[in-house]
Structure 1
Amino acid sequence: MKVSEIEMISPQTVEECLYHLGEKDKTSRFIAGGTDAVVRMKDGAWLPDTWINIKQLDSLRYIKEEENGIHIGPLTTHTDIVHSGLLQKKADVLTAASKEVGAVQLQNMGTIGGNIATASPAGDTIPTLFVLDAQIELTSLMEKRIVPINEFFVGPGRTVQAQEEMITNIIIRPQTENEIGIFEKLGPRKAQSISIVNVAISLKMGEKSRECLGGKIAFGSVAPTIVRSEKCERMLTINPLHDEAIQDIAGAAWKEVMPISDVRASAKYRRSMASALLERGLYRLMKRWDER
């Protein structure tokens, strides 16, 4: 398809976007940073009747704390997230993930809303949203609804978002003072490629040495959607997180992931690397906690 054959509109408000989404005789897709959309279009996967350019909708680009959590606009870029003092303090696991989203040029262009809407099991920010109990606000001309992150994705590239809806807000739980997080990623080249495996970890620590009061672990690129490692999470509180406990927890991870083999890695390799990344992440978190 030639560029001249592509219909693109640039609404000035969210209401205009919703109006165009509601047109029954046309298919449409949003484009903001274009880091996913342009690639998919070239591959012939995404060819809607109309592209809706929302890059200039500044009302959807923000990071702010409200009573019910930290609100992040869908057009917030990964660079915005990396440099946010609020997120560095209260959602460090998310800032760590955004640092790993491709090269700096991609971080400048790519948006968190685009990462969510693409619904790739390998999306770097998505596991972090699971450990931060994110909620996705979906808006249509008729209503607004909130969907918990664990109910939003139904498969690779598939979500519960309806054709007439757009993501208008992402709400995350702020981390407490005794909570620390980390994001670990394995890719062919550091920070430049799609994850072979990734993991987000958030731990709530106690007053005793390496005492963990609870935690959340989410793996990406090991199943059709993100996998919460519930068995490993339960093991976090059994013993202080010294070497033996960390190794036991990491050893249990391979039973909870369900990877496939593809051109990037075999299922067996992904299972092994899921355990290795979890072990490395827990070691690094404990080193940080010890140095506080």
Structure 2
Amino acid sequence: MLVSEIDVVSPLTLNECLAILSNEETNTRIIAGGTDAVVRMKDGKWLPEKWININGLTELRYIIERDGQIHIGPLTTHSDIIHSSLLQKKADVLVEASREVGAIQMQNIGTIGGNIGTASPAGDTIPALYVLNAVLELRSLTNTRLVPIEEFFIGPGKTVLKQNEMITNIIIQPQSENEIGIFQKLGPRKAQSISIVNVAISLLMGEGHQVVKGKIAFGSVGPTIIRAKKCESIMTLGPLTDELIQNIAKIAWKEVMPITDVRATAKYRRDMASALLERGLYRLMRRWENK
């Protein structure tokens, strides 16, 4: 397909965009930052009849705290997230994940809504959103529904999003004073490539090294993001000692479900998932001691 053959429409308002999406006779696809679009078109995977360019819908670019929750617009860029004082204080794991999304140029252009909508198991912000209990607002011209992020993805590149819907809000639960988070990524080149394995960890701490509640989400080790529920349950059994951390890491090796592809073997991904989790837990303990 030649660039001259691509049909692009740029709505001026959200309602105009939803009206375009409601036309079931036309195969459409939304584009914002477009960091994935050219690659997918070259691969012959994204070839809609019409692209809907929503980059000008500034009403969808925001980070606000309201009623005890943090609301993030889908057009919020990774750079917006990185420089948000609110997210630095109350969603540090998401800030760390956004820092790992490509080079600075990509962080300036790429949006969190696009990272979610692409539905890649390797998407860097998605594990962070899992441990922040994110809920997605999906809107059509006639309906609005809220979908927990763990119910949004149904496979690589596949979601429950309907043809006439778009993501209009991402709602996360702010971390408390006793909650700490971290994002770890393994890639061929730091912050420049698709993750071979990534992991987001969020811990609600009690006295000493006691974990009251822990959340762990792995990327690139399954068809969708994997919540390491067994690891999470073991974390609360006692203080997070060296022995317990190492046992949790061993369990993670069995809990992930990676495949072998051109970037890594399944065994290597299992080994690295275990190692990244162990390293992340040690780093979090050091942060907690210094807090």
Which residue in 1 is equivalent to 2:49? 49
Matched residue type, 2:65? E
Compute the displacement of 1:42 (Å): 2.1
Compute the displacement of 1:19 (Å): 0.8
Q: Secondary structure at the match of 1:25?
A: coil
Which residue in 1 is equivalent to 2:8? 8
Q: 1:121-164, CA deviations, whole angstroms, 9 ceiling, x for partnerless residues?
A: 00000001110000000000110000001100000000000000
Alignment of 1:80-95 (within 5 A): 80-95=80-95
Task: Please give the alpha-carbon distance, in whole angstroms, between the structure 2 residues aligned to 1:24 and 1:71.
Answer: 30
Q: 1:72-104, CA deviations, whole angstroms, 9 ceiling, x for partnerless residues?
A: 000000000000000000000000000000000
Compute the displacement of 1:68 (Å): 4.5
Which residue in 2 is equivalent to 1:124? 124
Task: Please give the alpha-carbon distance, in whole angstroms, between the structure 2 residues aligned to 1:63 and 1:34.
Answer: 21
Task: Please give the alpha-carbon distance, in whole angstroms, between the structure 2 residues aligned to 1:93 and 1:87.
Answer: 9
Matched residue type, 1:219? F
Which residue in 2 is equivalent to 1:72? 72
Compute the displacement of 1:108 (Å): 0.3
Alignment of 1:124-143 (within 5 A): 124-143=124-143
Matched residue type, 1:274? A
1:251 aligns with 2:256: no
Structure 2 alignment gaps of length 5 or more: none
Matched residue type, 1:276? A
Matched residue type, 1:123? G
How much is the aligned-residue C-alpha RMSD, in angstroms? 0.7
Q: Contact 2:182/2:284 (CA < 8 Å) preserved in 1?
A: yes
The total of aligned residue pairs comes to 291
Compute the displacement of 1:37 (Å): 1.2
Identity of aligned residues (%): 70
Compute the displacement of 1:24 (Å): 1.8
Task: Please give the alpha-carbon distance, in whole angstroms, between the structure 1 residues aligned to 2:79 and 2:184.
Answer: 18
Task: Please give the alpha-carbon distance, in whole angstroms, between the structure 2 residues aligned to 1:285 and 1:21.
Answer: 44
Which residue in 2 is equivalent to 1:232? 231
Q: 1:163-200, CA deviations, whole angstroms, 9 ceiling, x for partnerless residues?
A: 00000000000000000000000000010000000000
Which residue in 2 is equivalent to 1:63? 63
Compute the displacement of 1:254 (Å): 1.1
Task: Please give the alpha-carbon distance, in whole angstroms, between the structure 1 residues aligned to 2:8 and 2:133.
Answer: 35
Compute the displacement of 1:25 (Å): 1.6
Q: Secondary structure at the match of 1:35?
A: coil
> TM-score, normalization: structure 1?
0.99
> TM-score, normalization: structure 2?
0.99
Q: Contact 2:68/2:174 (CA < 8 Å) preserved in 1?
A: no
Task: Please give the alpha-carbon distance, in whole angstroms, between the structure 1 residues aligned to 2:2 and 2:71.
Answer: 38
Task: Please give the alpha-carbon distance, in whole angstroms, between the structure 1 residues aligned to 2:21 and 2:38.
Answer: 20
